[in-house]
């Protein structure tokens, strides 16, 4: 989520989500921190959407919960995806559909939209003209010269803006460390078609639920080999339905079948098009891998194709799914062993093309981890941009653009906002720290009952534990230590329950550390009678 401010008005470009890492247990989504603008929602002219991927639109419903009439601006497919998502949140947005080569004035912001090629249809870059300067935000893009839909990145438009003078370029950095140029999507189709040859079992393909072009290639291969296709996974069904309605996905008559019909077909006559390419445990493929899917049980003669790249941070989850699928005896094909996917992001060679074409005065690498931003910054310097005019920013950094010069001017306090179930923001780092302790070392509850008058132990001590040990006698040795510690406290006239709880916690904690070299969560209970 990027926020632009000019003449007291605000413009939001994209509003996405992050997905949790393994050290964020229980978290479903991670949102931008809206706190710095909650008292200025009336100042927002619109939310401009560059494309419909979750990391660019997933946070919109949560922002619109605060003010549901903030206008949305984006391409037809992007707006359709957002509106379907908002319908689930019971929000009816105010939307404006735009296309490449169109312009739109929103308050002090003059917007121009340019086509960019990405792994989702209808992606847009946006030029933002103001009296303070001109900004070009590329969104996510690559420069496939032979895309399936014939829609290439508008380098001519980039060059035209560059000739007018781009004061600040915000450009996709995801593949900045990767040299060269991206392979064409057209190279994937024949590979997938060849994989269908000679397969006698079912074919299960997992892909991003928004990758319309990949799904089209699966349709084409299935049609060529006399197979029917069924969608598996709610987001796949929803997104591809939208793509079909908009004419972005073309299926020959009779190719698509329902799940109920698909499971009755001969194995060599069906393809399942599934979600779960990133190892998500609750996705369709994740449930197949764990044997929990209610329709599909993976069998040894199945062929499973993961037609996607590995999103950084998801490697462990993806390979876990691959291993579980392989244990069934099925054939598992992924990007590491066959050319079943190409990235949707421009590598270094293409980023240099953009830098040399636009010739921006200032560059702000966006969209990527720290190493990607730094790599992109080095490319900008190599292309001739003054090193002092290349800014690698962190979340919350404020960049001022004045008289054609961008400077890091300050920082807005912000934090990651965690979504856990239906709750937004009530889980923070202290709770996650406790969850990590529980996940690493388990839980021990120690209880003693004391006489409220003299502080002597009259019941217990007892210990119960979860996630610590299978040995029912594991805590026999610590019970007398607890009794001794409580008696010592009574002899010293220590009767305050809080102080006794701390003595109980220290006693158990020291014994666990000395005996097991572990650090479980210890919860002491001192009951007075």
The Cα-based distances of 525 to 405, 488, 505, 518 in angstroms read: 61, 18, 9, 21
**Phi, psi values for residue 195, rounded to 5°:** -65, -25
DSSP-derived pairing of the beta strands 29-31 and 417-420: antiparallel
Task: Count CA atoms closer than 13 A to 482's CA, side-chain side.
Answer: 29
**337, 235 contact by CB (below 8 A):** no
Q: Report how far residue 84's alpha carbon sits from residue 91's, in angstroms, rounded to the nearest whole number.
A: 10
Q: Report how far residue 505's alpha carbon sits from residue 259's, in angstroms, rounded to the nearest whole number.
A: 55
H helix and E strand count, the chain: 15, 24
> Does the annotation list 342 as a binding residue?
yes
Kindly list the strands in the beta sheet with 228-232, ordered across the sheet, starting from the edge strand earlier in the chain: 228-232, 270-274, 203-206, 303-306, 331-333
Helices (H), 75-129: 76-88
Q: Could you write out the DSSP letters of every residue in 14-60? A: ----B---TTSTT--EEE---GGGGGGGGGEEEEE-S---HHHHTTH
Q: Which residue has the tokens 């702000």?
A: 364
SS3 128: strand
Q: Report how far residue 76's alpha carbon sits from residue 93's, in angstroms, rounded to the nearest whole number.
A: 14
Run of H or E including 439: helix 429-441
> Does the annotation list 80 as a binding residue?
no
Q: Report how far residue 458's alpha carbon sits from residue 261's, in angstroms, rounded to the nearest whole number.
A: 68
> Does the annotation list 494 as a binding residue?
no
**122, 52 contact by CB (below 8 A):** yes
> Does the annotation list 344 as a binding residue?
yes
SS3 386: coil
Q: Mark 307-333 as b/e (b = at least 16 C-beta within 10 Å).
A: bbbbbeebeebbeebbebbeebebbbb
Q: Report how far residue 77's alpha carbon sits from residue 74's, in angstroms, rounded to the nearest whole number.
A: 8
Q: Which residue has the tokens 């390419």?
A: 277
Q: Report how far residue 248's alpha carbon sits from residue 245's, in angstroms, rounded to the nearest whole number.
A: 8
Please name which of 224, 157, 159, 164 lies closest in space to residue 190, comparing C-alpha atoms. 224
> Does the annotation list 341 as a binding residue?
yes
DSSP at 183: P
Sign of the dihedral through C-alpha 381, 386, 388, 394: negative
31, two tokens:
């949102």
Angle (nearest 5°) at CA 54 between 259 and 236: 10
SS3 239: helix
**427, 418 contact by CB (below 8 A):** yes
Binding-site annotation, residues for substrate? 341-345
Binding-site annotation, residues? 341-345
């Amino acid at each position: 989520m990027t926020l632009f401010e000019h003449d007291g008005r605000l413009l939001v470009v994209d509003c996405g989500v992050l997905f949790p890492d393994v050290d964020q247990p229980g978290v479903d989504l991670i949102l931008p921190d809206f706190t710095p603008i909650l008292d200025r929602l009336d100042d927002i002219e619109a939310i401009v959407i560059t494309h419909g991927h979750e990391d660019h639109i997933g946070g919109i419903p949560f922002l619109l919960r605060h003010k549901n009439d903030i206008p949305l601006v984006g391409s037809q497919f992007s707006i359709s995806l957002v509106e379907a998502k908002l319908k689930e949140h019971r929000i009816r947005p105010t939307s404006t559909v735009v296309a490449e080569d169109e312009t739109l004035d929103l308050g002090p912001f003059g917007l121009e939209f340019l086509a960019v090629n990405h792994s989702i249809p209808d992606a847009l870059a946006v030029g933002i003209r103001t009296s303070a300067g001109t900004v070009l935000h590329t969104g996510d893009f690559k420069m496939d010269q032979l895309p399936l839909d014939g829609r290439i990145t508008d380098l001519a438009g980039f060059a035209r803006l560059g000739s007018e003078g781009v004061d600040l370029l915000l450009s996709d950095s995801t593949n900045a460390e990767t040299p060269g140029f991206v392979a064409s999507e057209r190279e994937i189709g024949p590979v997938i078609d060849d994989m269908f040859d000679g397969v006698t079992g079912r074919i299960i393909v997992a892909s991003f639920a928004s990758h319309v072009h990949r799904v089209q290639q699966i349709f084409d291969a299935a049609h060529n080999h006399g197979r029917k296709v069924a969608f598996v996974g709610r987001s796949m069904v929803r997104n591809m339905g939208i793509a079909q309605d908009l004419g972005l996905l073309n299926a020959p008559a009779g190719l698509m079948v329902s799940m109920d019909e698909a499971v009755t077909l001969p194995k060599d006559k069906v393809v399942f098009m599934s979600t779960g390419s990133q190892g998500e445990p609750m996705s369709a493929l994740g449930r197949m891998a764990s044997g929990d899917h209610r329709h599909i049980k993976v069998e040894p003669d199945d062929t499973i194709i993961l037609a996607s790249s590995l999103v950084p941070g998801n490697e462990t989850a993806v390979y876990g799914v691959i291993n579980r699928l392989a244990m069934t005896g099925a054939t598992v094909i992924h990007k590491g062993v066959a050319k079943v996917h190409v990235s949707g992001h421009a590598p270094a060679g293409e980023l240099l093309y953009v830098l040399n074409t636009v010739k921006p005065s200032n560059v702000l690498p966006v969209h990527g981890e720290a190493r990607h931003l730094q790599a992109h910054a080095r490319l900008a310097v190599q292309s001739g941009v003054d090193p002092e005019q290349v800014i690698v920013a962190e979340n919350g950094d404020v960049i001022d653009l004045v008289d054609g010069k961008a400077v890091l001017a300050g920082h807005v306090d912000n934090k990651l906002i965690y979504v856990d179930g239906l709750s937004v923001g009530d889980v923070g780092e202290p709770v996650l720290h406790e969850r990590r302790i529980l996940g690493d070392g388990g839980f021990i509850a120690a209880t003693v009952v004391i006489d409220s008058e003299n502080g002597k132990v009259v019941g217990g001590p007892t210990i119960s534990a979860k996630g610590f040990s299978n040995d029912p006698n594991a805590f026999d040795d610590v019970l007398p230590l607890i009794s001794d510690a409580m008696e010592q406290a009574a002899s010293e006239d220590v009767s305050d329950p809080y102080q006794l709880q701390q003595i109980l916690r220290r006693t158990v904690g020291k014994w666990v550390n000395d005996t097991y070299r572990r650090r479980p969560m210890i919860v002491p209970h001192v009951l007075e009678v």
